[in-house]
Amino acid sequence: MPYPEAAWERAMTVQEVLLKAISGEVHWFRAAEILGWSPRTLRRWRERYEAHGSSGLIDKRLLRPSKRRATPAQLEQVLRLFRERYAGFNVRHFHQIVQREHGVTVSYSFVKQALQAAGLVKKHRARGRHRRRREPRACFGEMLHLDGSVHEWFTGMDVRPCLIAVSDDATKRVLHAALYPSESTWAVMTSLAAVLHTAGLPMALYTDRAHWAFHTPKAKGSVDKTHLTQVGRALAHLGIEHIPSYSPQARGRSERLNRTFQDRLANELRVAAITTLEAANRYLADQFAIPRAPSCPWAPRISTGSCVTKNRAWWRATTPSAWTAASCRLRRSLVVERAPA
């Protein structure tokens, strides 16, 4: 087994510096600085050079097999799993799945290089940032992102349900994700209720200008914040600021999260042979790797007996008078609990 070319190049560089130090062209301390060694290490390599010549400058560990190297059986298992079951997964997702489901212990770098060498995945150049991204909020709970993604979540089926995901701007953690038949007011309210019970009341909610979120009198114009939707009235009553976005670039964090779900969740549902919304939501809650948010000590929480679970009629108010009555019921049943100091 020959030494790699890089090892010989390194040995020639060391030999050149040693010869200059031996001839007196450079001082030994200067030679040690050039090679990045201590004077003691340089003396040791000088003795090896005087005893064995140029071959003594080669690191003999390069011919010794690593104790951590992957076995042929492990390589065969990785390639077989990708070909037979996980074709279409990206490398990072595939590595996480085989670690979780099949007990594969090899590193991500090894899996990536093995799949590329076998021609199963293509090599891609790393993309640079095309623009400067907005700085995230400082603390968990300052602002949440909510967005819906209509996609072919069930491979080979005509239905295109909507995935609603809620994430935190500061920590990038996904607080809630579930599939619904459509991006409706009921679906958004159900998602918000789940977040309020588990993570508390946020300071602001950032969404697009969908029909359930804002009233836009003129297409592509500003929203009318005096004409609130059902969601807008609920957020205003809870003291949550509702922030609209005016372009896909402005809600880039939500769009990137949607792409992640479209790439990963659709493939996992296909492998698990899941074709219904109920089964998909159970899979999302039990098995899909969604990072959970830590508890926030300063975030007020809604008690279990609040209107979100007991008074489901509060979001159905469609007129100002009906909303006034629903607000009274909401105010009576809503209990905000402060975290202990």
Residue range 115-167, pLDDT digits in tens: 999 999 988 776 666 566 678 888 888 999 999 999 999 987 888 999 999 99
Residue 122, Cβ density class (10 Å: 0-12 exposed, 13-18 middle, ≥19 buried):
exposed
Do the strands 162-168 and 144-150 form a parallel or antiparallel pair, or are they unpaired?
A: antiparallel
Is the overall model pTM greater than 0.75, yes or no? no
Quickly state the pLDDT bin for 193 (edges 50, 70, 90).
very high
* The pLDDT of residue 293: 42
Q: Report the percent of the chain where pLDDT is more than 90.
A: 41
Digit-coded pLDDT (tens) for 286-329? 888 664 444 444 444 444 433 343 333 333 333 333 334 433 43
Q: What is the reported pLDDT for 302?
A: 46
Q: What is the pLDDT of residues 266-289, one digit of tens each?
A: 899 999 999 999 999 999 888 886
> How confident is the model at residue 98, as a pLDDT?
93
Burial class for 227, CB neighbours closer than 10 Å (0-12, 13-18, 19+): exposed
Chain-wide mean pLDDT for the chain?
80
Identify the sign of the CA torsion 130, 134, 140, 145: negative
Question: Is residue 330 predicted with pLDDT exceeding 90?
Answer: no
Res. 67 pLDDT band, cuts 50 70 90: confident
Closest to 135 in 3D by CA, of 86, 169, 158 = 169
Q: For 185-208, what is the mean pLDDT? A: 91
Task: Give mean pLDDT, residues 222-243.
Answer: 90
What pLDDT shows up at residue 32? 92
Task: Please state the rounded mean pLDDT for residues 231-250.
Answer: 86
Residue 78 in this model has a pLDDT that exceeds 50: yes
Q: Looking at residue 29, what is its pLDDT? A: 92
Contact 108, 96 (CB under 8 A): no
Tokens of 57: 């400058």
Per-residue pLDDT at 333: 39
Q: Which of 208, 137, 205 is nearest to 169 (CA)?
A: 137
Give the per-residue pLDDT at 123: 86
Mean pLDDT of 165-177: 90
Tokens of 116: 């590329």
* Least confident residue range of 98-107, 138-147, 219-228, 247-256: 247-256
Report the half-sphere exposure of 135 (CA within 13 A, side-chain side). Answer: 3
Q: 3-class DSSP state for residue 262? A: helix
Residue 38, pLDDT score: 93
More confident residue, 153 or 341: 153
Report whether pLDDT(86) > 80. yes
pLDDT of residue 157: 82
6-64 confidence digits (pLDDT tens): 888 888 899 999 999 999 999 999 999 999 999 999 999 899 888 888 888 887 776 66
